[in-house]
């Protein structure tokens, strides 16, 4: 969405976290373009959902209703793990169709999108199965299906071609997907020591690496880097808590913060208010764990935090910003 499309940037800015509803949909012209409208209610999204329903097991149509700000949470709550991945893939493709209409020629057909999704799900499913059966002692890695590029077709099939194996030599320097049924949220802060200016980036992904959301947010001024890191984790966890309540793993590259979040004692007084709030927010999840990871394993969150500094507050549902989609792909290339 970034780069060149001033209109798009403005519109995205309006959504941020508040999902304001003051712009009319450019596709159907009949409603305000909220995220719900774009990926669920608008004409093309309805058509794609109707067609994919013939080949995929997805929730009943009545579940795709606007149930308020928690609509996605409510929708996903009806789904098992496989269905959830399919719903997110569907929303991702609906977004692609919307972009194709708004920014390109709008010629992408529903039939082509159905074929794309079918092939995508089949290939990712096979790859996961392959890993589970051929290497049963190790965690199945699946693969990424994240992205938002208009060239998502090539982007996706490029990744689908790979069979990712757990490799002990690279385990220590790259992101590792969570086990099936868990979701992993990576958070990072960008902090300028001289001025204290700070911003946050976060991304939540499932066992296949598929993003529930990615987010960038400017945090203003922080006293120190530890405070900025704690604030960044709070922002990510809060956003995710509004979408999902299943088991979650939180990852930060701030060792002291990870220790404090998993401990009953609070040592670092300065970040205490944030640590307290993070712990309160974590209680809504069915289960949680906090991991300390190396910076190399937190690259995407780091890039999102840097992106926030330049581009402000954004929220991407079921996708990542186009400018970091290459980084997400490269992260997965390390698996092969
Ligand atoms: Zn519309």
| Residues 325, 154 contacting (CB under 8 angstroms) | no
Instruction: State the sign of the Cα–Cα–Cα–Cα dihedral 30, 34, 35, 40.
Output: negative
Give the orientation angle of helix 43-52 with respect to helix 81-103, to 10 degrees. Answer: 140
Write down the H helix ranges in 136-271. 152-160, 225-241, 255-261
| pLDDT tens, position by position, 30-51 | 888 888 898 999 999 999 999 9
Structure tokens at 132: 């589970």
| Residues 275, 162 contacting (CB under 8 angstroms) | no
d(CA 264, CA 25): 49
Give the three-class secondary structure for 94: helix
Which pLDDT score, from 0 to 100, does residue 263 have? 86
Cα–ligand 1 centroid distance for 239 (angstroms) = 25
Cα–ligand 1 centroid distance for 36 (angstroms) = 10
227: left (phi over 0), alpha (psi -120 to 50) or beta: alpha
Q: Is the pTM of this model over 0.75?
A: no
Give the three-class secondary structure for 186: strand
Average pLDDT over residues 95-122: 86
Which pLDDT score, from 0 to 100, does residue 110 have? 94
Beta-bridged to residue 183, according to DSSP, are 248
Per-residue pLDDT at 132 exceeds 90: no
Structure tokens at 24: 């009319």
Cα–ligand 1 centroid distance for 32 (angstroms) = 8
Which pLDDT score, from 0 to 100, does residue 70 have? 80
Return the number of other C-beta atoms located less than 10 Å from residue 161's C-beta.
Answer: 11
Q: pLDDT confidence of 7, banded at 50, 70, 90? A: very low
Residue with more model confidence, 315 or 181: 315
| pLDDT tens, position by position, 69-78 | 788 888 888 8
| pLDDT tens, position by position, 269-285 | 789 999 999 999 999 88
Cα–ligand 1 centroid distance for 212 (angstroms) = 22
| pLDDT tens, position by position, 203-242 | 998 877 778 889 999 999 999 999 999 999 999 999 998 8
Average pLDDT over residues 26-32: 87
Residue with more model confidence, 331 or 252: 252
Which pLDDT score, from 0 to 100, does residue 292 have? 92
Cα–Cα separations (whole angstroms), residue 31 to 12, 88, 172, 245, 325: 17, 23, 48, 30, 30
Scored b (16 or more CB within 10 A) or e, 80-102 reads eeeebbbbbbbbbbbbbbbbbbb
Per-residue pLDDT at 291 exceeds 70: yes
Cα–ligand 1 centroid distance for 31 (angstroms) = 6
Q: pLDDT confidence of 333, banded at 50, 70, 90? A: low
| pLDDT tens, position by position, 54-98 | 999 999 999 999 998 788 888 888 888 788 888 888 988 898 888
Which pLDDT score, from 0 to 100, does residue 118 have? 87
Cα–ligand 1 centroid distance for 40 (angstroms) = 9
Cα–ligand 1 centroid distance for 138 (angstroms) = 45
265: left (phi over 0), alpha (psi -120 to 50) or beta: beta
| Residues 287, 248 contacting (CB under 8 angstroms) | yes
Cα–Cα separations (whole angstroms), residue 211 to 100, 203, 254, 266, 283: 21, 7, 22, 32, 22
Q: pLDDT confidence of 179, banded at 50, 70, 90? A: confident
Cα–Cα separations (whole angstroms), residue 317 to 17, 137, 217, 278: 11, 34, 15, 22
Of 148-152, 156-160, 238-242, which has the strongest mean pLDDT?
238-242
Backbone angles phi, psi at 64, to 5 degrees: -90, 55
Cα–ligand 1 centroid distance for 190 (angstroms) = 36
Cα–ligand 1 centroid distance for 311 (angstroms) = 26
Q: pLDDT confidence of 148, banded at 50, 70, 90? A: very low
Which pLDDT score, from 0 to 100, does residue 223 have? 92
Average pLDDT over residues 277-301: 92
Which pLDDT score, from 0 to 100, does residue 242 have? 80
Residue with more model confidence, 175 or 237: 237
Cα–ligand 1 centroid distance for 101 (angstroms) = 11
User: Which domains are present in the chain?
Assistant: 6-143 (no CATH), 171-333 (3.30.420.10)
DSSP 144-180: ------TTHHHHHHHHHT------TTTGGGS--PPPT
Question: Any idea how long the chain is?
Answer: 336
Which pLDDT score, from 0 to 100, does residue 92 have? 84
Structure tokens at 334: 């390390």
Cα–ligand 1 centroid distance for 49 (angstroms) = 14
Which pLDDT score, from 0 to 100, does residue 298 have? 94
CA dihedral 83, 86, 87, 91 (to 10 degrees): 180
| Average pLDDT over the chain, rounded to an integer | 77
Q: pLDDT confidence of 322, banded at 50, 70, 90? A: confident
């Amino acid at each position: 969405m970034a780069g060149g499309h001033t209109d798009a940037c403005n519109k995205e800015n309006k959504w941020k976290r508040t999902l304001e509803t003051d712009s009319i949909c450019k596709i159907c012209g009949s409603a305000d373009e909220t995220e719900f409208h774009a990926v669920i209610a608008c004409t093309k999204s309805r058509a794609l959902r109707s067609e994919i329903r013939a080949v995929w097991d997805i929730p009943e149509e009545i579940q795709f209703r606007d149930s308020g700000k928690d609509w996605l949470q409510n929708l996903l709550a009806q789904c098992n793990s496989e269905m959830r991945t399919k719903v997110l893939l569907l929303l991702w493709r609906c977004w692609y169709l919307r972009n194709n209409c708004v920014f390109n020629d709008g010629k992408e057909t529903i039939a082509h999108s159905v074929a794309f999704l079918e092939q995508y799900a089949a290939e990712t499913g096979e790859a996961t199965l392959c890993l589970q059966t051929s290497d049963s002692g190790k965690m199945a890695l699946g693969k990424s299906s994240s992205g938002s590029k208009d060239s998502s077709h090539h982007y996706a099939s490029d990744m689908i071609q790979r069979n990712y194996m757990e490799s002990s030599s690279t385990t220590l320097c790259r992101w590792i997907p969570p086990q099936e049924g868990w979701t992993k949220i990576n958070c990072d802060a960008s902090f300028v020591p001289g001025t204290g200016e700070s911003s946050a980036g976060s991304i939540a992904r499932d066992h296949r690496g598929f993003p529930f959301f990615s987010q960038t947010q400017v945090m203003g001024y922080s006293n120190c880097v530890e405070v900025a890191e704690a604030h960044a984790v709070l922002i990510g966890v809060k956003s995710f808590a509004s979408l999902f309540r299943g088991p979650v793993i939180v990852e930060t590259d701030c060792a002291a913060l990870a220790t404090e979040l998993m401990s009953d004692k609070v040592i670092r007084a300065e970040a205490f208010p944030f640590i307290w709030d993070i712990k309160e927010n974590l209680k809504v999840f069915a289960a949680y764990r906090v991991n300390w990871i190396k910076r190399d394993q937190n690259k995407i969150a780091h890039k999102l935090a840097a992106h926030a500094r330049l581009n402000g507050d954004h929220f991407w549902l079921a996708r990542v910003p186009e400018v970091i989609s290459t980084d997400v792909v490269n992260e997965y290339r390390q698996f092969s």
